[in-house]
């Protein structure tokens, strides 16, 4: 069933709580209807999931399409794994609980990440030592320009740290469903050291990992219906090993992690905190860096996208001035 609304408020469709309007807002739970909408669309299309990884910096969007495709099904299995196909309109955390209830392992570390399944490949969601790319087998899409179906293998998705082909080609594809390869046996991923210490001794199961992740997330992250935010606003910057060594000798407490391509990843939260932003607000008092996790920018009420962006730009500038490192936003600017 398709619903088309004109001059539609997007306020309740973004976790930042920013006011913006869609000239046309289309919701459909039917692939053919979505395909017809895309075929006849003569304007840039914003595909909107749960709105938990974007910032509306412009007051209006010409055409917003919200795929409400539902369904989770088993599409294959071998002795060790199952293939699970989930439609893009499913809530991500519902898929996580669905898989844990059936003893399919691989998603438990990604518990409680807001948003829908369709967005999980876009920024290759990650948390607590796991990333969506660890379990994604393939992605099915509609090409926005002509409405044709186009499948993507995992390699073709070109996943990187909070990055993918889809993030680099925003507005070109609508993700219809994602197929995951999950393990029939529980394979604990305790790469994130803080997770191990949260687990009850000798009782490591998918359910206890989920409980620990949920507990940590609730302690650390603001509840977006109460305090508007889009999770981590910035990516952790990657620098060369020479730059990392030079910074480490000047700032011995600097946390360093190894990253792909021989680079070193720095903690954006640490850099931001060292520049004095933790708990700070803008002049108007409506935007700030969260006091328990400064990587998260929050809307304390009534902030515009531009005010959030201006605050973020000040943070980027001060980190660059102090450390010579330029941070990039993780959140999509719309």
Ligand X SMILES: Cc1cc2nc3c(=O)[nH]c(=O)nc-3n(C[C@H](O)[C@H](O)[C@H](O)COP(=O)(O)OP(=O)(O)OC[C@H]3O[C@@H](n4cnc5c(N)ncnc54)[C@H](O)[C@@H]3O)c2cc1C
Residues that bind ligand X (CB under 6 A): 15, 46-54, 67, 88, 113-116, 118-120, 122-123, 125-127, 166, 170, 173-175, 221, 224, 229-231, 332
The verdict on whether 232 is a catalytic residue reads yes
- Find tokens 């889009």 and name the residue: 230
C-beta closer to ligand X: residue 18 or 119: 119
C-beta closer to ligand X: residue 174 or 244: 174
3-state helix, strand, coil in the chain (%, to 5): 30, 30, 40
Q: How far is the CB of 222 from ligand X (least distance, A)?
A: 6
State the SS3 of 213-280: HHHHHHHHCCCCCCCECCCECECCCEECHHHHHHHHHHCCCCCEEECHHHCEEECHHHHHHHCCCCCC
The verdict on whether 85 is a catalytic residue reads no
Q: Which of 35, 85, 162, 210 is catalytic?
A: 162
Q: Which two tokens stand for residue 184?
A: 């029939």
Q: How far is the CB of 54 from ligand X (least distance, A)?
A: 4
The verdict on whether 138 is a catalytic residue reads no
Q: Which of 99, 164, 232, 304 is catalytic?
A: 232
Q: How far is the CB of 170 from ligand X (least distance, A)?
A: 5
Between CA 209 and CA 213 the distance in angstroms is: 6
Which region, left, alpha or beta, applies to residue 72 given φ > 0 means left and ψ of -120 to 50 means alpha?
Answer: beta
Q: How far is the CB of 79 from ligand X (least distance, A)?
A: 31
Which region, left, alpha or beta, applies to residue 114 given φ > 0 means left and ψ of -120 to 50 means alpha?
Answer: beta
C-beta closer to ligand X: residue 128 or 323: 128
Length of the chain: 334
Q: Which two tokens stand for residue 15?
A: 């976790």
C-beta closer to ligand X: residue 54 or 212: 54
Report, as residue numbers or ranges, the catalytic residues.
Answer: 162, 232, 330
């Amino acid at each position: 069933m398709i619903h088309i609304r004109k001059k539609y408020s997007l306020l309740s469709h973004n976790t930042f709580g920013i006011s913006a309007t869609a000239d046309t807002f289309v919701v459909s739970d039917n692939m053919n209807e979505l395909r017809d909408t895309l075929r006849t669309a003569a304007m840039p299309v914003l595909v909107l999931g749960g709105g938990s990884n974007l910032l509306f910096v412009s007051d209006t969007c010409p055409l917003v399409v919200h795929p409400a495709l539902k369904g989770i099904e088993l599409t294959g299995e071998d002795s060790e794994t199952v293939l699970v196909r989930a439609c893009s309109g499913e809530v991500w955390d519902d898929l996580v609980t669905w898989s844990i209830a059936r003893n399919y392992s691989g998603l438990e570390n990604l518990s409680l990440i807001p948003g829908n399944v369709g967005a999980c490949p876009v920024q290759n969601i990650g948390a607590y030592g796991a990333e969506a790319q660890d379990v994604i087998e393939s992605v099915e899409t509609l090409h926005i320009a002509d409405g044709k179906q186009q499948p993507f293998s995992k390699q073709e998705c070109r996943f990187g740290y909070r990055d993918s082909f889809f993030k680099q080609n925003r507005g070109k594809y609508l993700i219809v469903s994602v197929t995951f390869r999950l393990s029939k046996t529980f394979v604990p991923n305790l790469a994130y050291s803080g997770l191990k210490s949260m687990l009850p001794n000798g009782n490591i199961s998918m359910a206890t990992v989920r409980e620990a992740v949920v507990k940590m997330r609730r302690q650390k992250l603001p509840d977006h219906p109460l305090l508007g935010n889009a999770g981590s606003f910035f990516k952790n910057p990657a620098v060369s090993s020479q730059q990392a060594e030079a910074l480490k000798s000047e700032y011995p407490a600097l946390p360093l992690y190894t990253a792909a391509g021989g680079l070193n990843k720095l903690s954006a939260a640490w850099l931001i905190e060292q520049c004095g932003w933790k708990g700070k607000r803008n002049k108007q008092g409506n935007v700030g860096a969260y006091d328990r996790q400064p990587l998260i920018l929050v809307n304390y009420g009534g902030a515009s996208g531009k005010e959030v962006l201006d605050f973020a730009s000040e943070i980027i500038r001060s980190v660059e001035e102090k450390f010579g490192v330029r941070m990039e936003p993780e959140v999509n600017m719309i």
